[in-house]
Amino acid sequence: MNRNGLHIGRLMLPIALLFALLGWSPASAAAQDHTAVFVVVTQDENMTQGMAMVLANQSLDQGAEVRVLLCGPGATLALTGHDGDVLQPRGITPGQLLERLIAQGAQVDVCAIFLPNTEWTESDLREGVGLAQPPEVAAYMLRPGVRYFTF
Please give the Cα distance from 9 to 17 (Å, whole number).
13
The predicted structure's pLDDT at residue 134: 97
Q: Say if residue 57 is exposed, middle or buried (CB neighbours under 10 Å; 0-12, 13-18, 19+).
A: middle
* Domains defined for the chain, CATH in brackets: 1-32 (no CATH), 34-150 (3.40.1260.10)
**Contact assessment for residue 83 and residue 95, using Cβ atoms and an 8 Å cutoff:** yes
DSSP-derived secondary structure letter, 143 = S
Q: What pLDDT is attached to residue 35?
A: 86
pLDDT in tens, the chain (151 residues): 555 554 444 544 454 444 444 444 444 444 455 589 999 999 999 999 999 999 999 999 999 999 999 999 999 999 999 999 999 999 999 999 999 999 999 999 999 999 999 999 999 999 999 999 999 999 999 999 999 999 9
